[in-house]
Chains A and B, each alone.
Chain A
Amino acid sequence: MLIEEQVILRAINGDREAFTYIYDLHFNKIYRYIYVKVHSQAEAEDLTQDVFIKAFEGIKSYKWRDLPFTAWLFRIAHNRVIDHVRKTSKEKRVDLEEAGAISSGDPVLMTEQNFEIYQLKDALQKLPDAQREVATMRFISELSITEVARALGKSEGTVKALQFNAVASLRKLLYGKFNGY
């Protein structure tokens, strides 16, 4: 049995430390995944917290054989984001002032980073849904191809094709049609 599987088994049986370990392992990835899909930092924080509370509430019904844990967790995040976006669909916008990285102490660097994040969020919003999901999970949350495929319920071949197309689209959206660097 894999160590991760053992940890999850302990969490299912109510081990608080095991769940805290899972929380620490996935928290940043889930936050980044949500952050690029919503409008503000506050929304991302609320939703991230909701995802882990829902995971805690539902972990007793989780079965390792059915789905890798990471994929299961990202499905919760995906559904939570969809619910949230449906409620706030009338406000499709990206606020530049909200597209902020954590403080690095250097205002020039911060401004550059914020602008780049703003551009990235804007470009991701223009992708088709399936490409956006794959690009977000693969390049921003750093999931493996297998995990992405299981989380989205698609084959690995399909995910690889979506990944390639998403990068091609992002290249045009971020740098224009001349592929400039």
Chain B
Amino acid sequence: MAIKIEEAFNQCFERLSAGESLDSCLRDYEEYRVELDLMLRTAYDVKRRAYPVQPRPEFKYWARVRLQGVQDYARRQPVQHKPVAFDLRRTMAISMAALLVFVIASSGTVAASSGSLPDEPLYGVKLAVEQAQVTLTFSDVDKAEVYAHLAEKRAGEIVALASQGKTDKIVTTTAKMDYQLQQAEQLISKYEVAIADVVEESSAAASVTSTAPAVPSSAFAVPSSAFAVPSTTSDVPAPPVITIPIDKTTSTPIVTGGQQDNFTLPAKPVPPETRESTNISRAKNTMNTTTAKSLALLQKALEKAPDSSKSALEDVIQHTKKANERAQQQLKLDTKKHISTPGVKYNTIPAVPADKPKYIPPVNNNHKPAEPLPVNKPTIQTNTADNSSEKNSYYQTDTSGDRDHDNKYNQTQPGSNLRLPAIVNPITK
């Protein structure tokens, strides 16, 4: 059964690309001989005309440098935790907590329980609402503030209990207040550690000084032509040397040498430490203010309290002072520890003096790349003959100046015994 002419044309085209002669191919399709002959010549003429269209070697070189710059930039970005698209358990928990808060708030019970004391029936509701408030606060630093406010509430309850002479409940309420202050202090510390880690990563990344282009290892050796400096070396500018300034006030890399206009790295975003520092300061202030208010409240209550409650109140005041001092010391220690971490400039990033010159690497004046370019031969094998021929053509496309193949094409004359040269391997022949 005769095949269609489209199929015959495609088969002949593939066979010619593999190096077979036109005549031997046409012999297999005698019924289409005349038409196939003209069509195949046309197809090869299209290939021949398009073959001189090659990217400028210097463009190809600089495009690779730019791409590597983009890759380096992407690698330097700190890993950001992607928000969970849909977490059923988390969604359910949030929904239930929100529903609980809504139901409780709408019933009026909350209003009634807000002034309740530990020995009253609605006190459990008050604690449940407080717990929901903590659960629905996601940021550590915000949670710390909530805990500080709750500790202040406990102090108010202690004062009320002391005025009523209920000393037995004062001890348990003091324990709750102590726990809440401790939680506030721990959450602030945890937040500071997390921020310090981010700043450390950013500092480490920013301290890298990169030069382009990178030299590939032998495992992925690319052909020498791919990395070859364009043949007209006098036209090729030296590659830029990029220095990422350590000075945090300067977010744009310094580029010296080469075509600076052609090489741009995306601007590095301003690190978020200023905003985070503000959050920490705010939480610390809340904690200090609420503790000071609690102490003032307790001192005032001590003056008016009945004698039976005075000793208990004095114990609470002493306990609160000690807890506060302990928390303050712990926070100072944490802050000092983070500041002294090598490579971390937490909140104390020194500005580069205006008169201090920035480091500018020497410019290579001989218009050659700063690093030697590899001359490795390709090592990667391909799985099909089609790819192999493709690769051969690719490896040789950068050999600018070698255009002998055009002469070969110009010498070809039409005829039945004509053996069309495979366009993909013209230079190797």
Contacts and interface: CB of A to CB of B under 8 A. Distances in A.
14 contacts: A2-B383, A3-B380, A4-B383, A16-B68, A21-B380, A27-B55, A31-B55, A36-B53, A53-B67, A102-B57, A102-B400, A116-B49, A164-B6, A167-B9
Interface stretch (A44-52, A71-79, A81-89): A44-52
B10 to A, nearest CB: 5
Interface in A103-161: 103-106, 109, 113, 116-117, 119-120, 135, 139-140, 142, 144-145, 160-161
A31 B60 CA distance: 10
A56 B42 contact: no
A3, A119, A135 pick with most chain B CB within 10 angstroms: A3
Contacts, number: 156
Contact of A104 (B47, B67, B406): B406
B39 interface: yes
A98 B422 CA distance: 28
Contacts of A120: 46, 49-50
Interface string A16-59: 11111101110111011001100001001100110011001000
A20 B64 contact: yes
A41 B59 CA distance: 11
B191 interface: no
A171 interface: yes
Interface residues of B, number: 57
B397 interface: yes
B272 interface: no
Contacts of A139: 43, 46-47, 50
B148 interface: no
A160 B46 CA distance: 17
A82 B54 CA distance: 21
Nearest to B63: A49
A167 B43 contact: yes
Contacts of B257: none
A9 interface: no
B80 interface: no
Contacts of B220: 7, 17-18, 20-21
Contact of B50 (A7, A140, A167): A140
7 tightest A-B contacts by CB? A101-B52, A17-B220, A164-B6, A24-B226, A140-B50, A171-B42, A31-B55
